[in-house]
Structure 1
Amino acid sequence: MDCCLSYAKPRFPTLPAGALRRPSNSALRRPSIVVASASSTRNFEFGGLTAPLAPRTPAGRLLTSVLLDDCDNFQIAARKELERLANERDEAAARLRLSLGSDEACLHRRIAELKNHECQEEVEDVMYVLINHKFSEMRVHLIPRLSRCVYNGRLEIWPSKDWELESIHSFEVLEMVREHLAAVVGCRSNSSVTQNWATIQVKRLHLCRLYAASILYGYFLKSVSLRHHLERTLNPSNSQFAISSFNQNPVSELFSVGSEYIASGRVISPRSSPLGQVSYRIERKQENLRVYVMGFNQETIQMCAKPKSKEAVNLIEKHSCALFGDEKTCLLETDDVITTSFASVKRFLLEAVAFGSFLWDAENCVNGVYMLEEN
Structure 2
Amino acid sequence: MKLLKHLIVVLFIWSCTSESSDGETTLPTDDDSMMVTNPLLDFTVPSNFPDATYSIAQNPPTEKGFELGKKLFYDGQLASDGVVSCGFCHIQSFAFTHHTHITSHGVDGQIGTRNAQPLHNLAFMNEFTWDGAATFLDTQPIIPITSDVEMNETVSNVISKLAADDEYPTLFAEAFGSEGVNADRLFKALSQFMVMMVSANSKFDKLERGEAVTFTDQENAGRAVFDTKCASCHAGSLQTDQSYRNNGLPMNPTFNDIGRERVTGLPSDHRKFKVPSLRNIEATFPYMHDGRLATLEDVLNFYTDGMVDSPTLDEQFRRPDGTFGLDITPEEKIQLIAFLKTLTDNDFIEDRRFAEF
Which TM bucket (shorter chain)? under 0.3
Greater fraction of residues in strand: 1
Taking structure 2 as the reference length, the TM-score comes to: 0.22
Taking structure 1 as the reference length, the TM-score comes to: 0.21
